[in-house]
């Protein structure tokens, strides 16, 4: 802003100087032309009076066209010298009779008047015309008028020629412009100094406000602006800023309180969601046990042990979540241990007891350093989502595939369900996003966090009404 004010003032001075200089030169030129014209008219008027006086009182020759040469052949030089005009006299047909110009009758000097001159003169109501021309840088003005005898009869045409010598006037103009330029240069230097100090003074207060505003942050205590001897406009701006600081502090307190409340709400949602995940397979296991329970079955103890093992495993998951919540709502921490992945995944799948779920793996045993509990959580979330996606499918099919790739473990869960719309794909891993009528949309977001905590990644491919495949890549160590 300071630079804009500075250059604006300088530009204003320059434009004003150029405009004044242009107007001055134009006015000087106009005055010169008016002066020359008035001077020429005065000389012309005097010369005409002398000619009329000569024809009326002094000549002894009969006043007619034939005697104009005799009357003025000597007298014309005197009239020309007195008035400093070149005078030429023509007959009514435009033929030159006498002239004060030296060698006027020589070839290519002064010839007969042109037809246009004669025509314009005859048609002019004042019977006078003026012609202007420029030759070799000199300006010439010529006037043509009729010569009348004492009875006002036309007997000839007189031409008065005035040479404009503006060299002295132009020299004076150059001198005037040079002096004016020096004055403008001095004014420009003064204007630069004045613009610098004035722009500094104007922007000093604004810069102080700008520096304070750059330092203003929501999460810290902000200082108010204290300025003295400032303009009313700046004072209004300072007051507005100080009021904003007060409001900002109030907003910061409210925001901090709101963030704490929001954090607890989010944590409560996450804990509720995590507790709900193991409850579903527990409920399914109890229902399956109740439906298939037969006291007379020879393998009843083995089945009872299997069901108990499944319930205990899910209870352990819930216990881990509760323990983490007691430590300020942290999700279960990583507990890396060497586990046999194939058996753990089979165990997680068996919880659902659903015939549409199929397990494929070319590996009989696959070991990796992972947290068994968190791996089960990842699998149960993905399988549960696949089951919900195939609820309206006529022949649902869910395939869980496990493979080993160098130092990584690859787990994919595929279904032939309704798929994911293109406009929703970017939101799948966003917290709170869900396309289901129930649930809080935290499952995929949390398993993504679990997988990334192990330096792994999760991705998916989906086609509308054809199915979805989620792929999990985890390091073995």
Mind listing the pLDDT tens digit for each residue in 306-334? 778 877 877 877 776 666 555 434 454 56
What domains appear along the chain, each with residue ranges and CATH number?
2-171 (3.30.450.20), 334-477 (3.30.565.10)
pLDDT at residue number 189? 86
| Pair of tokens at residue 143 | 């006037």
**Radius of gyration over alpha carbons of the chain, in Å?**
56
Instruction: For the chain, report the end-to-end CA distance as a whole number of angstroms.
Output: 60
Share of the chain above pLDDT 90, in %: 6
Which residues have CB under 8 Å from 191's CB, separation 6+? Answer: 9, 10, 13
Q: What is the DSSP string of 39-98?
A: HHHHHHHHHHHHHHHIIIII--S--SGGGHHHHHTTHHHHHHHHHT-EEEEE-TTS-EEE
Q: What is the mean pLDDT of each successive set of 10 residues along the chain, which is 477 residues long?
A: 73 83 81 78 86 82 85 85 86 86 62 82 84 70 87 87 70 79 84 78 66 61 60 64 74 72 68 72 76 75 78 76 54 73 88 87 87 87 89 89 88 90 78 46 73 87 90 88
For residue 444, which of 463, 424, 458, 465 has the smallest C-alpha distance?
458
pTM over 0.85: no
Helix (H) or strand (E) holding 142: strand 138-148
- DSSP label at residue 160: E
CB 104 within 8 A of CB 95: no
Residue 380: which residues within 8 A CB-CB, separation 6 or more? 277, 278, 280, 281, 348, 351
Query: For residue 191, what is the enclosing H or E element?
Result: helix 167-215
Q: Report how far residue 418's alpha carbon sits from residue 463's, in angstroms, rounded to the nearest whole number.
A: 8
Do 456 and 470 meet the contact criterion of CB atoms below 8 Å apart? no
Neighbouring C-alpha atoms within 13 Å toward the C-beta of 167? 4
pLDDT score for 329: 45
The answer to whether the CB of 205 falls within 8 A of the CB of 230 is yes
- Residues contacting 434, CB < 8 A, separation 6+: 440, 441
Whole-angstrom Cα distance, residue 218 to residue 222?
Answer: 8
């Amino acid at each position: 802003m300071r630079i804009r004010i500075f250059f604006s003032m300088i530009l204003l001075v320059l434009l004003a100087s150029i405009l004044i200089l242009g107007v001055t030169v134009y006015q000087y030129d106009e005055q010169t032309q008016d002066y020359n014209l008035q001077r020429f008219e005065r000389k012309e008027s005097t010369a005409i009076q002398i000619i009329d006086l000569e024809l009326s009182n002094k000549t002894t020759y009969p006043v007619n066209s034939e005697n104009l040469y005799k009357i003025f052949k000597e007298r014309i030089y005197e009239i020309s010298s007195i008035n400093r005009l070149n005078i030429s006299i023509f007959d009514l047909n435009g033929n030159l009779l006498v002239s004060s110009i030296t060698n006027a009758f020589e070839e290519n000097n002064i010839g007969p008047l042109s037809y246009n001159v004669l025509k314009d003169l005859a048609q002019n109501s004042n019977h006078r015309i003026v012609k202007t021309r420029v030759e070799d840088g000199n300006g010439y003005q010529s006037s043509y008028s009729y010569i009348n005898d004492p009875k006002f009869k036309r007997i000839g045409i007189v031409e008065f020629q005035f040479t404009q010598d503006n060299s002295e006037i132009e020299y004076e103009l150059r001198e005037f412009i040079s002096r004016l330029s020096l004055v403008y240069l001095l004014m420009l230097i003064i204007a630069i100094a004045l613009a610098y100090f004035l722009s500094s003074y104007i922007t000093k207060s604004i810069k102080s406000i700008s520096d304070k505003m750059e330092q203003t942050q929501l999460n810290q205590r902000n200082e108010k602006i204290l300025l003295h001897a400032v303009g009313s406009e700046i004072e209004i701006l300072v007051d507005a800023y100080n009021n904003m600081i007060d409001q900002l502090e109030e907003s910061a307190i409210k925001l901090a309180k709101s963030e704490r409340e929001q954090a607890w709400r989010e944590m409560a949602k996450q804990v509720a969601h995590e507790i709900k995940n193991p409850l579903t397979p527990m409920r399914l296991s109890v229902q399956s046990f109740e439906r298939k329970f037969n006291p007379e079955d020879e393998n009843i103890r083995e089945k009872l042990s299997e069901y108990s093992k499944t319930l205990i495993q899910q209870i352990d998951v819930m216990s881990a979540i509760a323990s983490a919540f007691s430590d300020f709502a942290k999700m279960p921490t990583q507990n890396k241990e060497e586990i046999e992945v194939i058996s753990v995944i089979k165990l997680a799948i068996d919880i659902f007891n659903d015939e549409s779920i199929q397990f494929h793996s070319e590996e009989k045993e696959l070991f990796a350093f992972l947290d068994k509990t968190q791996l089960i959580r990842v699998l149960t979330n993905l399988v549960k989502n696949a089951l919900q996606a195939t609820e309206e499918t006529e022949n649902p099919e869910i395939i869980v595939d496990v493979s080993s790739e160098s130092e990584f473990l690859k787990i994919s869960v595929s279904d032939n369900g309704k798929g994911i719309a293109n406009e929703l794909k970017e939101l799948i891993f966003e917290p709170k996003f869900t396309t289901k009528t129930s649930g809080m949309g935290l499952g995929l977001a949390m398993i993504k966090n679990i997988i990334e905590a192990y330096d792994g990644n999760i991705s998916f491919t989906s086609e509308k009404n054809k199915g979805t495949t989620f792929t999990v890549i985890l390091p073995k160590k």
